[in-house]
Amino acid sequence: MRCSPGSVLHLLFSGRIRFCSRRGKSRLPPWLRKIWAYVRLLAQSLCFNTLTDSDVVFDSIFEPVFWTVDYVTRWFGLVFVCLVVILTSSILVIAYIVLLPLILNTYSPAWIAWHICYGHWNLIMIAFHYYKAAKTSPGYPPTEKNDRPFVSVCKKCIMPKPARTHHCGICNRCILKMDHHCPWLNNCVGHLNHRYFFSFCLFMSLGCVYCSISGRNLFLDAYSALEVRQLACCFLLVTNFHTPAPSYTFKDRMIHKSIIYMWVLTSTVGVALGALTVWHAVLISRGETSIDRHINKKERQRLAAWGKVFKNPFNYGKLNNWKVFLGVEKRSHWVTRVLLPSGHPPHGDGLTWDIFPPWITVAPPMLP
């Protein structure tokens, strides 16, 4: 009979716990005895068998932390959604009340038409994709018995998991082709709403960059006006001169502060969200999700140790990956499904994956 280190550790640990419990059984009160029994059960579960590794121990120790984070994120989901709506609405109010009259009075008709058409198109794309990303179900595996292939069994749901399916602790269920749980959507990003999420990030970044670039001169003028007024007021207080400071009405000051607020907010969000959008674009080009990347990295390292090369089975090539992700089956779809609001479903059901979808072009193998 072969003894493993884990089994020996289990016998020693169990014997020590039994000895301590017998020695202190008559001394401990009942409520403390229950707590000690529960702690002993947790300790024994860490050396349950020889398959226990550092990941299992880490998950067991930090399970209360994970549960707390999931609970707080689940509760704050509506707060984040309201925050997105409030901040976006504040920028729209400033754009219509402050910027639009300035554009109509100073710009040429061609520039006025450009700003009005592009701004409203960008606004429609942002609102449409955010609503669809937040309200569309990410996709769930079936709960009833079926003959669909699966790769593992979820240890939380105790249900079969198809390929690329992962359990979300915040939603408390498995998600098809899960990328991550987005608190700003109060929803998981999965197979059915991944395109909506990426399109929202893309058009929101473009909108922020557009506001930041087009409002740069207005921001500099507003900042200079407020700075000159503050310097003038400080100079008058120090020198006791009776020359009045530059006269700005309450409306002028509010306009200047609104322009500064809009430029700072859009520039900050544009940089942060733009970096996130670029990162997701790189993952889409590789045919991966955020979770796939970590799994493929470990698999690549594991096979490299054996002298083998890992190949992602869901990578069809950069252009084909984008076609599959965006649902582009013909040339006109680049306009009707990408540049215009479209609610078309993604390719496939998220339970099984084609080696190559039927409409994408695959380069023929090179003959030796």
The tens digit of pLDDT for each residue in 64-81 reads 776 777 777 778 888 999
- Judge whether 20 counts as a catalytic residue: no
Residue 348 contacts residue 354 (beta carbons within 8 Å): yes
* Tokens 């499904």 sit on residue: 337
The C-alpha atoms of residue 193 and residue 182 are separated, in whole angstroms, by: 11
Q: Is the pLDDT of residue 254 over 50?
A: yes
* Helix pair angle (54-61, 30-46), 10° resolution: 150
Lookup: tokens for 323: 């076609």
The C-alpha atoms of residue 189 and residue 173 are separated, in whole angstroms, by: 13
108 domain-assigned:
yes
41 domain-assigned:
no
Within 8 A by CB and 6+ apart from 18, the residues are none
Side chain identity at 275, as an amino acid letter?
A
pLDDT-above-90 percentage for the chain: 43
121 domain-assigned:
yes
pLDDT-above-70 percentage for the chain: 78
pLDDT band at 49 (very low <50, low <70, confident <90, very high): low
The C-alpha atoms of residue 132 and residue 137 are separated, in whole angstroms, by: 9
Lookup: tokens for 213: 């670039």
52 domain-assigned:
no
Mean per-residue pLDDT, 320-336: 93
Q: Return the ∠ at Cα 96 (arms to 122 and 272), rounded to 5°.
A: 50
* Domain encompassing residue 211: 93-140+184-355
Q: Is the pLDDT of residue 20 over 70?
A: no
Q: Is the pLDDT of residue 345 over 70?
A: yes
Lookup: tokens for 186: 């109060």
The C-alpha atoms of residue 111 and residue 227 are separated, in whole angstroms, by: 30
Catalytic residue among 47, 171, 174, 182: 182
Q: How far is CA 90 from the centre of its chain?
A: 23
- Residues β-bridged to residue 143: none
Predicted local confidence at residue 366, as pLDDT: 41
pLDDT band at 192 (very low <50, low <70, confident <90, very high): very high
Helix segments in the chain, DSSP class H: 5-23, 30-46, 54-61, 63-94, 100-106, 109-135, 194-214, 216-239, 250-286, 290-305, 318-326, 333
Q: Render pLDDT for 101-116 as a digit per residue (tens, 0 to 9).
A: 888 888 889 989 999 9
Using left for φ > 0, alpha for ψ between -120 and 50, and beta otherwise, residue 178 falls in: beta
How many domains are there within the chain? Answer: 1
Integer Rg of the chain from CA: 29
62 domain-assigned:
no
306 domain-assigned:
yes
Q: Report which listed range, 27-31, 233-237, 309-313, is most confident.
A: 309-313
The C-alpha atoms of residue 284 and residue 319 are separated, in whole angstroms, by: 10
Residue 229 contacts residue 246 (beta carbons within 8 Å): yes
Does 40 or 57 have the greater pLDDT score?
40
The C-alpha atoms of residue 364 and residue 368 are separated, in whole angstroms, by: 13
Q: Is the pLDDT of residue 262 over 70?
A: yes
Predicted local confidence at residue 150, as pLDDT: 78
Within 8 A by CB and 6+ apart from 180, the residues are 188, 189, 290, 291
DSSP codes joined into one string, 79-103: HHHHHHHHHHHHHHHHIIIIIHHHH
Q: How far is CA 312 from the centre of its chain?
A: 22
12 domain-assigned:
no
* Tokens 């061609």 sit on residue: 110
Lookup: tokens for 217: 């001169």
Mean per-residue pLDDT, 356-364: 58
